[in-house]
């Protein structure tokens, strides 16, 4: 698909845009829109007060939710919820100048005269009624003419007539779907640019060959204006310039699995995030209570996108990086490629299964005690058999009672007494609360934290034994060494998180000892924290604010801090950069999505996970038999055409079937190729100097590991505009300008090879220098 016909590029040649666009005319148009925006803000202030009253009265209006039937922000509760959201967002400066304003769009619709027939606004059932209401109030009509304003939320006046329609309502759909070929009754689509409550510009697209005399058309089109802007540290929403083909994916059915594919910069991420906001709007009851989870590759990615949903008025979505997917574990550390491959493959489940079912290190290998006056002795072989039997039917952490009962049976059997039921009953009765048995159970069958099992595997011999037939000795050694690294550094790796989750599912949640809580302490009980080896206390948001997570000083304590409960489940799971999930990570996300619908976003040509077939199988298993719908994006909105052509040439040579999009924007500035030379830092400094002059926003130095340490001091220079990053960490991100250091080395060092280089070469919006 090329640029959507709804974009500014397709302005009909006969449109009087340029002749009309003299400053006075623009100023007049701005004044017209300002008057409406003022009205909306005045109404919001009133609504905010009403909402505060509602809140004070303890009426949780969100409970009313927005169901399909009330899809147009119908009713007072919904409007007041929106007003509350708006005020909350404004308090946190979410709707600052980075974003298009609260009211960002206007449609001038002709319902009758245009083609002498009924309006072609294709409203849905809910949209029809909203459209009709909108005509009554937002319409300043000449005959069949209607003016409809579109905004981040629906706003109504005292009579509950709409002043602004929520962008997600069906009645707003022509704003995104109308094209000169299918105008849907729209004469003119206008995008309002605002700073806070002040309108500072308007950009029009005409949908008919000739503008009616009373319709002024100004501006050069909103899309190009948005794309040429400088990139900030955070992703912006695109609510004012969503293109028709993107809108289709955003508003697609909430059911089943929605796959969004496309090359770099095609808006997959931003579309998926708007889809999350749309789902919350269209089926609020289901998705707000069931929850939406957004999973991205890294902490840098979640930080980059974190403001998009709040800017759309949605705060209830959970964002998680793959290194944060399991509660209580937070990490960004990556394993070396070969270790990551072994840990990401489902083959590692053999090792995990054997370890989870195996003996707890240091557990007693023999039971001896006097019970009910009889000497009982159970040797290791019998203990092992009992353990295997119990674990065939139970999760270890939930099977203490079953294990103790099975041990009792075995103990009785070991005495060789037959037919004496009474004696057996007496024996088992004593067994149940015998102190020696209790002490033995505590050592033989302790509660096992899944993370402890991984730490057992720092023992190379144990890994070899448990993974015989799956991994050779060398890989077993590498795995053991990686867990030893965790023990030394006090940090897990990102791939470990999926292993911890797998083990947690096998072992079951750790049960509290009856008399004390594990891992948590009341702050007020700890007068002198340092005596407990504690350096930091972090409040845990959530159920009990008085509790604190205690961050231990020693590496082992840090690895085991906090507790891992049952994973939260969600009603919808959105996975970005899906091409990079390992099979084990698909299983991990799948555990949070057992009853969920999915939106899955990716581009195989950017993959860094090498065994695509195995990942595809795990992904299919996670999706189950749910129906699929697919959307393909093929317009690159990020990179200037010169930059993208360069990147596409590189990837095509080795990945002939790469999904290459079409870049829409030319800058006239080719990619600069310069020698790396012997002084890498000097070469990078020189390029940076030029780029910082040329662009207003962020500049990234993307470097292979080899030069990372020497280049690190450049990070944060020029008032924080410069970032120094490794190629993998740039996934999903973008910058105004980029210096790519030593592309050959990037290809060599990454398991994804040229695909990872392709990622690095497609991060720059406006300028790029390649040092080779
Ligand atoms: N309709 C639009 N209007 C304005 N900007 C847009 C539009 N669609 C996409 N963009 C911009 O294009 C850039 C790329 O979008 P995004 O990061 O979502 O692409 P992507 O397909 O996920 O890229 P990648 O696969 O390379 O990570 C972003 O700056 C985004 O805001």
Q: What is the pLDDT of residues 429-455, one digit of tens each?
A: 999 989 999 999 999 999 999 999 999
Mean pLDDT of 176-195: 92
Mean pLDDT of 501-526: 68
Among 275-279, 370-374, 510-514, the range scoring the smallest mean pLDDT is 510-514
* Residue 469 belongs to some domain of the structure: no
Model confidence band, residue 41 (pLDDT cutoffs 50, 70, 90): confident
Pull the structure tokens for residue 380. Answer: 């290791």
Indicate whether 378 and 396 sit together in one domain.
yes
Indicate whether 295 and 185 sit together in one domain.
no
* Residue 532 belongs to some domain of the structure: no
Number of domains present in the structure of the chain: 4
- 515 marked as binding residue: no
Mean pLDDT of 691-698: 94
Angle of the 76-91 helix axis to the 23-56 helix axis, nearest 10: 110
Distance 718 CA to ligand 1 centre (A): 26
Ligand 1: which of 638, 639, 643 to mutate, most ligand atoms within 8 Å of CB? 638
Indicate whether 629 and 640 sit together in one domain.
no
* Residue 207 belongs to some domain of the structure: yes
Indicate whether 152 and 258 sit together in one domain.
no
- 262 marked as binding residue: yes
Indicate whether 140 and 154 sit together in one domain.
yes
Indicate whether 28 and 164 sit together in one domain.
yes
Q: Which atom of ligand 1 is nearest to the CA of 606?
A: 25
Model confidence band, residue 98 (pLDDT cutoffs 50, 70, 90): very low
Distance 286 CA to ligand 1 centre (A): 28
**Cα–Cα distance measured from residue 218 to residue 209, given in angstroms and rounded to the nearest whole number:** 15
Model confidence band, residue 381 (pLDDT cutoffs 50, 70, 90): very high
- 408 marked as binding residue: no
* Residue 106 belongs to some domain of the structure: yes
Distance 639 CA to ligand 1 centre (A): 9
* Residue 554 belongs to some domain of the structure: no
Query: Which DSSP symbol is given to 612?
Result: H
Domain residue limits at 766: 636-771
* Residue 478 belongs to some domain of the structure: no
Indicate whether 80 and 143 sit together in one domain.
yes
The binding-site residues of ligand 1, defined as CB within 6 angstroms of any ligand atom, are 223, 226-227, 236, 238, 241-243, 246, 262, 264-270, 603, 606, 637-638, 732, 734, 762
Indicate whether 193 and 253 sit together in one domain.
no
Residue that is written with structure tokens 């999915």 in the block? 598
Ligand 1: which of 167, 233, 261, 270 to mutate, most ligand atoms within 8 Å of CB? 270
Indicate whether 131 and 212 sit together in one domain.
yes
Among 74-78, 331-335, 576-580, the range scoring the smallest mean pLDDT is 74-78
Distance 635 CA to ligand 1 centre (A): 9
Calculated CA dihedral for residues 42, 226, 768, 709, nearest 10 degrees: 30
Indicate whether 21 and 126 sit together in one domain.
yes
Indicate whether 46 and 177 sit together in one domain.
yes
Q: What is the pTM of this model?
A: 0.83
**Cα–Cα distance measured from residue 99 to residue 395, given in angstroms and rounded to the nearest whole number:** 50
* Residue 653 belongs to some domain of the structure: yes
Among 61-75, 334-348, 493-507, 601-615, the range scoring the smallest mean pLDDT is 61-75
Q: Which amino acid residue places its CA nearest to atom 3 of ligand 1?
A: 241
Domain end call among 604, 633, 662: 633
Q: pLDDT higher for 13 or 556?
A: 556
Strand residues in 179-304 grouped as ranges (E): 186-195, 198-206, 257-262, 292-296
Among 81-85, 212-216, 618-622, the range scoring the smallest mean pLDDT is 81-85
Q: Which amino acid residue places its CA nearest to atom 23 of ligand 1?
A: 265
Domain end call among 608, 633, 658: 633
* Residue 501 belongs to some domain of the structure: no
Domain end call among 633, 651, 671: 633
Indicate whether 215 and 266 sit together in one domain.
no
Q: Which atom of ligand 1 is nearest to the CA of 237?
A: 31
**Cα–Cα distance measured from residue 177 to residue 184, given in angstroms and rounded to the nearest whole number:** 8
CATH number at residue 592: 3.40.50.300
> Would the pLDDT of 711 be above 90?
yes
């Amino acid at each position: 698909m090329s640029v959507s016909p709804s974009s500014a590029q397709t302005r009909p040649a006969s449109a009087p845009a340029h002749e009309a666009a003299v400053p006075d005319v623009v100023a007049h148009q701005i004044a017209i829109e300002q008057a409406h925006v003022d009205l909306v803000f005045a109404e919001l202030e009133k609504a905010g007060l009403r909402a505060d009253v509602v809140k004070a009265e303890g009426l949780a209006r969100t409970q009313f939710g927005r169901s399909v039937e009330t899809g147009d922000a119908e009713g007072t509760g919904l409007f007041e919820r929106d007003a509350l959201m708006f005020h909350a967002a404004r308090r946190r400066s979410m709707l600052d100048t980075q974003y298009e304003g609260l009211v960002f769009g206007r449609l001038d619709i002709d319902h009758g005269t245009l083609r002498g027939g009924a309006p072609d606004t294709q409203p849905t059932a809910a949209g029809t009624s909203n459209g009709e209401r909108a005509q009554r109030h937002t319409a300043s009509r000449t005959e069949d003419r209607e003016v409809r304003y579109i905004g981040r939320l629906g706003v109504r006046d005292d009579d509950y007539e709409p002043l602004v329609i929520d962008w997600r309502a069906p009645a707003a759909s022509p704003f995104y779907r109308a094209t000169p070929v299918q105008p849907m009754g729209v004469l003119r689509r206008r995008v309002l640019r605002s700073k806070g409550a002040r309108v500072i510009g308007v950009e029009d697209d005409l949908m008919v060959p000739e503008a009616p005399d009373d319709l002024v058309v100004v501006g050069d089109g909103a899309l190009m204006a948005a794309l040429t802007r400088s990139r900030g540290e955070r992703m912006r929403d695109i609510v004012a310039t969503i293109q028709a083909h993107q809108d289709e994916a955003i508003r697609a059915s909430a059911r089943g699995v929605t796959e969004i594919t496309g090359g770099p910069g095609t808006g997959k991420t931003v579309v998926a995030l708007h889809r999350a906001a749309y789902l919350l709007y269209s089926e609020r009851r289901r998705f707000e209570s069931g929850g939406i989870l957004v999973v991205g590759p890294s902490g840098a990615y979640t930080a980059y996108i974190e403001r998009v949903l709040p800017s759309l008025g949605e705060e209830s979505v959970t964002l998680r990086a793959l290194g944060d997917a399991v509660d209580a574990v937070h990490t960004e550390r990556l394993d070396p490629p070969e270790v990551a491959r072994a840990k990401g493959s489902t083959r590692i489940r053999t090792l995990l299964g054997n370890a989870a079912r195996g003996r707890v290190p240091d557990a007693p290998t023999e039971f001896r005690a006097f019970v009910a006056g009889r000497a009982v002795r159970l040797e290791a072989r019998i203990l092992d058999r009992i353990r295997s039997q119990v674990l065939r039917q139970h999760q270890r952490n939930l099977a203490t009672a079953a294990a103790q009962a099975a041990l009792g049976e075995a103990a009785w059997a070991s005495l060789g007494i037959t037919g004496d039921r009474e004696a057996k009953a007496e024996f088992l009765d004593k067994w149940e609360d015998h102190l020696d048995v209790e002490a033995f159970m505590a050592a033989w069958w302790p509660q096992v934290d899944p993370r402890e099992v991984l730490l057992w595997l720092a023992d190379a011999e144990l890994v070899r034994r448990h993974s015989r037939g799956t991994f050779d000795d060398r890989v077993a050694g590498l795995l053991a060494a990686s867990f030893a690294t965790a023990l030394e550094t006090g940090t897990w790796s990102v791939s470990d998180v999926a292993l911890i989750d797998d083990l947690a599912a096998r072992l079951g949640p750790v049960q509290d000892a009856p008399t004390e809580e594990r891992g948590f302490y009341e702050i007020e009980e700890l007068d002198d924290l340092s005596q407990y080896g504690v350096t930091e206390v972090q409040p845990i948001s959530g159920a009990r604010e008085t509790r604190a997570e205690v961050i231990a000083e020693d590496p082992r304590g840090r690895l085991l801090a906090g507790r891992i409960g049952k994973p939260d489940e969600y009603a919808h799971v959105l996975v970005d950069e899906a091409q990079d999930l390992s099979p084990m990570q698909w299983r991990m996300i799948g555990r949070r999505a057992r009853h969920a619908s999915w939106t899955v976003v990716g581009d195989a040509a950017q993959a860094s996970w090498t065994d695509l077939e195995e990942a595809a199988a795990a992904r299919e298993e996670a999706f189950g038999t749910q129906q699929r719908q697919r959307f393909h994006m093929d317009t690159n909105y990020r990179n200037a055409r010169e930059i993208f052509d360069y990147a596409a040439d590189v990837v095509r040579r080795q990945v002939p079937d790469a999904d290459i999009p079409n870049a829409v924007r030319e800058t006239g500035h080719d990619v600069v190729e310069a020698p790396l030379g012997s002084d890498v830092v000097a070469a990078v400094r020189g390029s940076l100097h030029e780029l910082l002059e040329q662009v207003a926003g962020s500049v990234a130095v993307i470097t292979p590991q080899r030069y990372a340490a020497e280049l690190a001091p450049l990070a944060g220079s020029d008032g924080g505009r410069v970032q120094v990053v490794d190629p993998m960490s740039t996934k999903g991100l973008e910058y105004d300008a980029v210096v790519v250091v030593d592309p050959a080395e990037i290809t060599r060092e990454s398991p994804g090879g040229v695909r990872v280089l392709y990622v690095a070469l497609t991060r720059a919006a406006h300028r790029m220098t390649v040092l080779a």
